[in-house]
Amino acid sequence: MSQMGQPAPKGDLVRAAVLGLLGTRGPSSRAEIARSLGVSPATVTQTTKELLARELITELDSVPSQGGRPARLLGLVRTAGGAIGAKVTADHVALVSVDLDGTVRASSAVPFDPARPAALDALCEILHEAVAAHEGHLLGVGVGLPGAVDSQASGIVDAPTLGWDRAPVGQRLRDALLVPVLVDNDVNTLAAAESVYGIGREHSSYLVVTIGLGIGCGIVSHGSVSRGAHGGAGEIGHIPVSEDGPLCGCGNSGCLEAHIGAHGLIVAGRTAGVLGASDGIAQLAAAAHAGDQRARHVYAEAGRLLGRGLAGVVHVIDPELVLLMGEGMTEWAFWQAGFEESFRRHLMPARRGISYITESWAESQWAVGAACLVLASSFDANTPGAQGALVRARLQDAASAGAS
Ligand SMILES: [Zn+2]
């Protein structure tokens, strides 16, 4: 979020920019804020005075400054606003309630059947209860789903794994909940979370790759998530890798995900004689951890295919680095046995040194990512669409709402 070379923000935008800086970078001194935003110290003094009076920010410890008296650090009042995040899956909705700095206050999971004719009514009902139970000032609701979403603001969803085609999720939820609602592809929500609280603080162009039931990718380019023409960018799970390969959930055959998503691994595990007819991915993982070489070979082969596919994506997108996460990360050591060599070998020599990093995984991260759609838009005046503007307005109103 360096403002070098950009015009200095004015008025409301300065308030949003100060909140955004403190939200994404953590506690900062007034001098650091002025430097980062490219505004005058007098403007920062005036703006922070208003934000202090509205109890959106607070004074923290002092830190030594160059020469003069110690500088006071300013930080967000993390309870000044909160968000609800929901991850919709084929059998449940995972929910979290978070504070302004991303701290998780509560989490739960509610059974959900997306194939029911009244599935959207049921989703409205689940989120209505979550909104009613939320304590404090709610900035909005973020929803992540395994599918293509045309835009965060309109929230029209195509999700084959949920059986949804042009489902008007955003509009239905907004009508039912009467708060801002942002909807996005679930992997893109993880990328949004990284952009505010993770590697986005250090890097502006990177891939967020998920390994688990499916294989997904969020593409962050120059600080924003690339969505493509229909919200379908980053579907690396459907890169074709074989002519007559296994059937994929998308209806085609031979997709990367059909080979190395959880179902593909289970089939490979059965073929290798590790798994019986009723065994699943948990048994394959257990066998690999117990030292079964056949199970480890299944993961290494999957790693090989992933490495080859990702090398192609790196050539197209040219990211600074690749971040790997998802349910499958607990078995990453076995994937890596095949991934490392294959990834490097298929990269052009000039790109061969690119770093990839792995992140440990907690199941609640999907829903936290969804909540970060709201938190990211509360900090970023560039988030397009009316919903982002509504979230920012609600944050500015937070103090008066909290006092009433
Ligand atoms: Zn496919």
pLDDT tens for 74-106 read: 998 888 889 999 999 999 999 999 998 888 999
Task: Provide the residues around ligand 1 (an ion) whose CB is within 5 A.
Answer: 238, 248, 250, 252, 255
Look at residue 48 and give its three-state secondary structure.
helix
Residues in CB range of 106: below 8 A, 6 or more apart: 96, 97, 133
Poorest-pLDDT segment among 5-19, 57-71, 197-211: 5-19
Per-residue pLDDT, 78: 81
Per-residue pLDDT, 127: 98
Q: 143: CA distance to ligand 1 center in Å?
A: 23
Distances (CA, A) of 297 to 106, 265, 293, 301: 39, 11, 6, 6
Q: 236: CA distance to ligand 1 center in Å?
A: 9
Per-residue pLDDT, 23: 79
Q: 287: CA distance to ligand 1 center in Å?
A: 27
Query: Which strands make up the sheet holding 57-63, listed edge to edge?
Result: 28-29, 71-76, 57-63
Closest CA to 339 of 366, 305, 314: 305
Poorest-pLDDT segment among 9-23, 77-91, 123-137, 172-186: 9-23
- What is the percent of the chain with per-residue pLDDT over 70, rounded to a whole number? 92
H helices of 318-364, in order, are 332-346
Residue 241 half-sphere exposure toward CB, CA atoms < 13 A: 23
Token look-up 């294959």 returns 342
Residue 5: which pLDDT band, with cuts at 50, 70 and 90? very low
Q: 306: CA distance to ligand 1 center in Å?
A: 14
Residue 216 half-sphere exposure toward CB, CA atoms < 13 A: 22
Helix (H) or strand (E) segment spanning residue 181: strand 181-185
Q: 250: CA distance to ligand 1 center in Å?
A: 4
Q: 324: CA distance to ligand 1 center in Å?
A: 20
Beta-ladder partners of 253: 247
Q: 7: CA distance to ligand 1 center in Å?
A: 44
As a whole number, mean pLDDT of residues 49-69 equals: 81
Q: 235: CA distance to ligand 1 center in Å?
A: 9
Q: How far apart are CA 40 and CA 181, in angstroms?
A: 35
Distances (CA, A) of 259 to 59, 161, 361: 53, 17, 22
Q: How far apart are CA 139 and CA 377, in angstroms?
A: 10
- Going by their DSSP bridges, the two strands 321-325 and 206-211 should be labelled as parallel
pTM of the shown model: 0.85
Residue 326: which pLDDT band, with cuts at 50, 70 and 90? very high
Q: 237: CA distance to ligand 1 center in Å?
A: 6
**Type of residue at 81:** G
Residues in CB range of 119: below 8 A, 6 or more apart: 112, 113, 162, 164
Residue 402: which pLDDT band, with cuts at 50, 70 and 90? very low
Tokens representing 89?
Answer: 């899956």
Poorest-pLDDT segment among 77-81, 257-261, 312-316, 382-386: 382-386
Residue 6: which pLDDT band, with cuts at 50, 70 and 90? very low
Determine how many CB atoms are found less than 10 A away from the CB of residue 13.
Answer: 15
Residue 109 near residue 93, CB atoms below 8 Å: yes
As a whole number, mean pLDDT of residues 41-68 equals: 84
Residue 302 near residue 259, CB atoms below 8 Å: yes
Q: How far apart are CA 155 and CA 51, in angstroms?
A: 32
Per-residue pLDDT, 133: 94
Closest CA to 77 of 13, 27, 32: 27
Classify residue 101 as exposed, middle or buried by CB count within 10 Å of its CB (0-12, 13-18, 19+). Answer: middle
Q: Which of 223-227, 264-268, 389-393 has the highest mean pLDDT?
A: 264-268
DSSP state letter for 167: E
As a whole number, mean pLDDT of residues 329-338 equals: 96
As a whole number, mean pLDDT of residues 164-176 equals: 94
Could you tell me which residue, 268 or 61, shows the higher pLDDT? Answer: 268
Task: Kindly report the average pLDDT of the chain as a whole number.
Answer: 89
Residue 134: which pLDDT band, with cuts at 50, 70 and 90? very high
Per-residue pLDDT, 400: 52
Q: 249: CA distance to ligand 1 center in Å?
A: 6
Q: 229: CA distance to ligand 1 center in Å?
A: 19
pLDDT tens track for 338-351: 999 999 999 999 99
Poorest-pLDDT segment among 52-66, 98-112, 215-229: 52-66
DSSP state letter for 259: H
122-141 burial string, b = 16+ CB within 10 Å, else e?
A: bbbebbeebbeebebbbbbb
Tokens representing 227?
Answer: 């969505």
DSSP state letter for 404: -
Q: How far apart are CA 52 and CA 37, in angstroms?
A: 18
Closest CA to 77 of 56, 63, 93: 56
